[in-house]
Structures are given as structure tokens and as C-alpha cells.
Structure 1
Amino acid sequence: MTATAPILASTDQPIRVMIVDDAVVVRGLVSRWLAEETGVEVVASLRNGREAVDQFNRYDPDVVVLDIEMPELDGISTLPLLLEKKRDLIVIMASTLTRRNAEISLKALSLGAADYIPKPETNRDVTTSTTFRRELVDKIKSLAARRRRTAPRPAPAVAPVAGRPAAPPLTPRLGPLPADIRLRPFPPTPPRVIAIGSSTGGPQALQVVLKGLAPIAARFPIIITQHMPPTFTTILAEHLGRASGRPAHEGIDGEPITAGTIYVAPGGRHMVIKRVNNVPVIGLEDGPPVNYCKPAVDPLFASAADAYGAGLLAVVLTGMGSDGAHGAGDVVAHGGGVIAQDEATSVVWGMPGATAHSGVCSAVLPLNDIAPRIIRLASGDRL
């Protein structure tokens, strides 16, 4: 079936959610959670991907929470079939924390899934996990709100011409920055280290930025905090290494930071920068979550600002919440520079939006323009 161009319902209508999971306990629990949320309606609760595909048109969901491991038709096989039916469909992949599922979840993001959510290991753990509930509800509401703001006006459906592929999804039109965002000049010091924070939509955005930085990536370290659980960050580092052509791995406590290497904060630990005998090294900390996140961006930015001062360039990419905004203020206070991703190209403009509105940014850019601007800055251009 060829994709058409439906849009989400108007903002005064509830978000229509389809749950697809072979565990009846999970389906029932998630349905009850969502039923308690204002503005959310569970329209279907199905046990496998085949049922989801066959009954999709009947229920016409805005969001699908899609389990990975299911009989008959698993999640990764179901995903493209659902996206063929509705190209602006929001699909959130759900999986337990295994290496295989982490690989599949990241593959799903590259195939068009909007996000993923790690499930607790057992059904009993699901019933008691307030974190899982909060994250699932937040993702559904944030992603749906974003899609509704950027959805195009409805257009008459046009049948595709035989032999011609369907038109690609519409992309948001770029526009000027909001009037309340004020930019500051970039610092005169070229960056010596890049620190990046990201969350929802981050894995894809990170690959774009790192591929773009390939011509100069050997000249400085790149230190990344992406909101992800353990195992997922291991796989993410491997993916980023392949995308960038540079060595990439999870940060190791006490290891010296060297140019040309990409360091990823391991899931479940905050990654910070310390100086030992005046040498910057990775530090891993097991403190409480910051901004509900662990790892969090704020500790990375604040510590990197202390360690590198004016030589630090911080980049805040797509993500929910406001993590990174406070740490970006520390970066500026120590003489460094800050770039945020713009709203039009962000999956969710929470983190970069909060940073931009705090007045600490020297640039707010479309995703594809971030790496070229960093290259210019590294060459001494302050524009």
C-alpha cells in the first residue's frame, strides 16, 4: 500500500494510541496508564505486528507503541509496513535491555521510528516501574505535540503514477528564529574540544553531525552525552564510530582525553571531565539523576567548562526536557561557545529550545548546518 499524506487530528482531539505487545500484562497496564492521561485515547491493544498491520486502517492511530519481540510478525518487520500506511505515524519501539534489542532499536530509528523506550526485564518490573510509565507518557505526548505543530495542511490524495515512487514526506519549512531569542557573538578562541548533548532523535542527529565533522575530527576530542540506558550506549558508540570514521567508545573512568576520539557517556552513569596532573580525563559518577536523566548533559557541560574554559564548544541537539540549558550557561560563563539545533529540524525542541531561550547561544542552526559552522569556527572564523 502506498503512503498518503494524512495529518494528525487537530490539537483539541485526543492522541490516538495503538499498543502492540504480545504480553497481555503489558498491554493491559499501559492501556490503564494512558486512560488516566488527559488528551490520550487508546484505540487498540493488539498482540502482534500482523494484527497491527491488518487492523491499522480501522483504528487510524497517531502513535503506535511497538514491541520488538512478538510472534507471527515482529516489531522491526512491522515498522515499515505501518509507515507505508501513514507516513507521519509516530512509532515508539519498546524493548528490553539486551544487546540484540539495542541493535534492533537503533536500526528502527534509521528506518523511521520516532523513538524507543527500554522496557523493564520482567512483567512484574513493568508494573512497579514509575520511570517506565513517566517516560512512555512523556514521549507519546511530546512527539505527538511536535508532529501536530509541524503537520502540513491537508491536501487532496493523489494516486501515484504507475512506476513512479510516492512523493517523500514533507519537511518543515525553515523560518526565522523566534523574536525572543537573542544570540551572542562566538568567543574569539577556536574550539579545542566539542561537547554534545542530545536525547529524543539524538542518535540520528549525532550521526549527521559527526559525518559532517569528518574533515577535522582528528583535531579535537568529541564528548557526547545521549540520554540512553546501558547497553544502548555501547551500541550507539559503535554506530557513531562507523559513521565518523574515528575511534568511538563509552567513556572509561580515569582515561585521558585525546584528540580524534569520540567518548560516549555510558548508560546509568554521569560522565564528567576532570583534570589530573593538569591532564583532562574522563570521570564517571554514580550520583542521582539530573533532570530525571542519567547520564545527564548538565554535569558534562559544567565540568567540561571548568576543564577547558574558552576552548570548549557545546552543542545541544534534539531532545525532550531542558537538560543542557543550565550547563550551557556554565560554558558561556567560562568563555566557551554554544550552538543549539533549530526547532524545524529537531524531533523535539525541548533541550535545544530551552538552551536557545536562555540567551546563551551564539547560533541556532538547522541540523545540516551545525558541522559546517563548527568547521568554520575551528578555522578561526567567528561568524
Structure 2
Amino acid sequence: MPKIRVLVVDDAVVVRSRVSKILSSDPELEVVGVAANGRIALAKIPHVNPDVVILDVEMPEMNGLETLAAIRQTYPQLSVIMFSTSTYTGASATLEALSLGASDYATKPSNLGNVEAINQHIREDLIPKIKVFGAVTSPSFKPTKIAHAVAFPTRTNINRVDVVAIGVSTGGPNALATLLCELPANLSVPILIVQHMPPMFTKLLAERLSSKCQIPVQEAVSGVIVEPGHIWIAPGDFHMIVQRDKAVVRLATHQQSPENSCRPSVDVLFRSVAQVYGAGTLAVILTGMGQDGLYGCQCIREVGGQVLAQDEASSVVWGMPGFVVNAGLADQVVGLDRMADEIIRRILLDQ
């Protein structure tokens, strides 16, 4: 199988050198070029013909956003992974890049002096994404049927929806913007979301979505009462759960061990809503890499809740929804453009 060809674009020579060295150590990858800014990168692309571009955000002469816009004009199908810091500026620019068509992003290690930590971060965070977007089939991310899948019967009656729980990862910011902006302001249930992102990113994502949607979107805070007509996003590096407190349900966040290498984890949230809301749970599993949410969906189906999964055609990566569909856990597979209507339909069925 041919290697995935990677172009590394970053103004810092130490970053270019380190990233190139780690990527080249993987037998499935080949670094075909490096560039110190966007202008050099654009000149190199037709000569080195990369499958994936690793693109820094803040660069002199031509920054990452300007470079991305130029790449999308000439090479609309070329995969671009933003490689940015998790500072406020870096996170904001990365979210803007995703809205402009970046395939995904990875955060730069904060401590460039710790060589082994840098190597591990690149291997665990960046390389898997390069392989996904470089179109190399990877057993780790290819949805397959699981041996212990539970066969749930097709249901003719649908329970009342009391909460909508959404799990999403790669491609999530744009998917959430599409979905949430189509929901009405008077929605009669709360919405809880786990989006795989670092701390600063989830806060900025909530602010961006809230500015566009009819329903207020906030980053979750422990102790808040879960009420209809509100949307909460799990904060980066914290799991989010719900807890019943007499007549109300409250949010709680904690930093127990990651699940599926994720914190926040979709499985953690989904298990929690299954325990608290039972059959009144409507789970929505959207585009994303890996299989976080698979066992949470099984928990929701076991208590009589419903599960909707995004279809492959509209997913950036059909990993998370693909695992759920192939495990027989989805009540319905829905395109992103129809997901809001389907959620509203199911909420209104019992009203």
C-alpha cells in the first residue's frame, strides 16, 4: 500500500523538524516536504503532491487561515489538518479554520522542551488523524460489527423525549452549527453535548454556537439545573454527567479517568442520562473518529431510549456513528440536513 504523503507547514524550524521526524518514523507515512509559511506551501503543493497538509495557524507573510482559503480554491479535496496552540487566539483561529473547510485539527504540545512528551502527543493525536484523512484503512477507526452486539427489535411505539444527548467528534463544530441552528427557540427539552475538544476550544465553541442559534448554548458548570430550552456542552478535559436532586436534574463535571482515550467522553454522558432519564432519552451520535458513544448507546437502548445516527454520506468521518449503526443500536440513520427535523418530530410525538 502506498504511503500517505504529508506536507508540514510551520514557521518554527523546531516544530517542522520534530513533526517531520516523528511522522517519518511511521511506516505508513512519508513527509514529502516542509514549508515555513503559506506562500512557500502553496508553491510546493503541485510539486510534492501531498495527501495531507499539516498547517500552522499563526505564520508570517501568509497565515494558516489565508493559506487554507487558497488551498480550498485550488485543491478543494486536499485534506488539511490545522496544527495550533490551545491558547485563546489559537483556539479561535482553529474554529474559524474548521468553518472554512479544514478537515480537522490537532493541538501543539505546550512544552516543547519535553521531547518524549512531544513525541507521544504527535503519535497519539496527530498521526491517527493523518491516517484517516490520508485514506488509509485503519482497523482502529473502521466501523465493524461487534461480536456482542445486542439485537434490539424494531419499535412501533416511541417513548416521550425528556432530554436530547449528542455525541460528536471529528467534523463536530460544523455539524453542530448545522443541526442546532435549525432547532426552535421554544424547544421543550434540554440538550446535552459531548464534543471531543480541549478546554479553551469548548468554551469558544459554545460562544460561537450561541451567537448563531435560537437556543442559548453554554459550557457546562457543575450544579446547574438542567432545564428545557437550553444547550450545554461538556467542558474540555472534564466528563459531564447528570444527577437527580429531588425534583430537579443537575449537571456535574468531573475528571475521572478518560474513557476511549477521551475526556469528555460520550459514553460517560450517555450512561448517565440513561440512568437519570431512562426511556425518555433521545441520543444522537454524529460524525467522529473512533467508537466513543457505542456502549453508551447500548445503555440507552437497554432502558428503552432512542438512538439516531448520522449517515455516512454526510459525516466527515463515519467512525462513531458507523460503530453504532453496525452494532444494530440505531433506531434510524439520518442525514445531517434532516437530523433537526427528525429530533423535533420525535420530541413532538407525545405532546
TM-score strictly above 0.5: yes
CA deviations 1:140-161 (Å, max 9, x no partner) are 11122289xxxxxxxxxxxxxx
In structure 2, how many angstroms separate the alpha carbons of the residues matched to 1:374 and 1:339? 8
Pair 348,267 (structure 1): closer, same or farther in 2 beyond 3 Å: same
Q: Which residue of 2 aligns with 1:224?
A: 193
1:77 aligned residue: 66
Moved more, 72-81 or 311-320: 72-81
Alignment counterpart, residue 240 of structure 2, candidates 271, 275, 282: 271
Structure 1 residue aligned with 2:134: 144
Q: Note the C-alpha offset of 1:220.
A: 1.0
> How many Å separate the matches in 1 of 2:316 and 2:229?
28
SS at 1:223 equivalent: strand
Worse-matched range after superposition: 231-240 or 37-46 = 37-46
Question: What's the CA shift for 1:201?
Answer: 0.2
CA contact (8 A) 2:288 2:317 kept: yes
Residue among 82, 98, 102 paired with 2:91: 102
Task: Flag structure 1 segments of 5+ consecutive residues without an equivalent.
Answer: 1-11, 148-179
Within 5 Å, which residues of 2 pair with 1:233-382?
233-380=202-349
Aligned match of 1:196: 166
**C-alpha distance in 2 between matches for 1:187 and 1:228:** 36
Separation of aligned partners in 2, 1:273 and 1:131: 31
- Maintained 8 Å contact 1:34/1:41: yes
Question: Counterpart of 1:145 in 2: which secondary structure?
Answer: coil
8 Å Cα contact 1:183-1:363 kept in structure 2: no
C-alpha RMSD of matched pairs (Å): 2.0
Identify the residue that residue 32 of structure 1 maps to in structure 2.
21
- Of residues 207, 210, 218 in structure 1, which corresponds to 2:177? 207
DSSP-derived class of the 1:231 partner: helix
Identity value in percent: 44
CA distance 1:259–1:113, shift in 2 (3 Å): same
Distance 2:45 2:300 in 1: 48
Task: Please give the per-residue CA displacement for 1:212-247, whole angstroms capped at 9, x wherever unaligned.
Answer: 222653x11110000000110001111121222221
Between Structure 1 and Structure 2, how many residues are aligned?
A: 338
The one-letter code matched in structure 1 to 2:229 is G
Deviation at 1:127, TM superposition (A): 4.8
CA contact (8 A) 1:15 1:62 kept: yes
CA contact 1:184–1:362 (8 Å) conserved in 2 = yes
Distance in 1, matches of 2:113 and 2:167, equals 33
Q: What CA distance in whole angstroms lies between the structure 1 residues aligned with 2:153 and 2:181?
A: 26
**Amino acid of the residue matched to residue 268 of structure 2?**
P
Contact 2:185-2:215 at 8 Å conserved across structures: no
Q: How far apart are residue 356 of structure 1 and its match?
A: 0.9
Matched to 1:207, the amino acid is: A
Q: CA deviation at 1:188?
A: 2.0
The equivalent position to 2:154 in structure 1, one of 184, 187, 208, is: 184
Distance 1:35 1:309, change over 3 A: same
Return closer, same or farther for 1:187/1:146 CA change in 2, 3 Å cut-off: farther
Question: C-alpha displacement at 1:126, in angstroms?
Answer: 6.3
- Aligned residue for 2:15, secondary structure, equals helix
The answer on whether the counterparts of 1:187 and 1:336 sit within 8 Å (CA) in structure 2 is no
> For residues 55 and 17 of structure 1, what CA distance do their matches in structure 2 show?
12
Contact 2:171 2:315 in 1 (8 A): yes
Stretch moving more, 48-57 or 290-299: 48-57
Aligned counterparts, 1:113-192, within 5 A:
113-125=102-114, 127-129=116-118, 130-145=120-135, 184-185=154-155, 188-192=158-162
Instruction: Measure the CA separation in 1 of the matches of 2:32 and 2:61.
Output: 22
Ranges in structure 2 where 5+ consecutive residues have no aligned partner = 138-148
Q: What is the TM-score with the length of structure 2 in the denominator?
A: 0.92
TM-fit CA distance, 1:376: 1.1
Residue 26 of structure 1: CA displacement?
1.5
Q: How far off its partner does 1:39 sit?
A: 2.3
- Encode CA deviations 1:337-372: one digit per residue, 9 max, x unaligned: 000111111111110011111111100111111111
What amino acid sits opposite 1:47 in the alignment? A
Paired residue secondary structure (2:289) = coil
Cα distance, 1:266–1:214 mapped onto 2, change above 3 Å = same
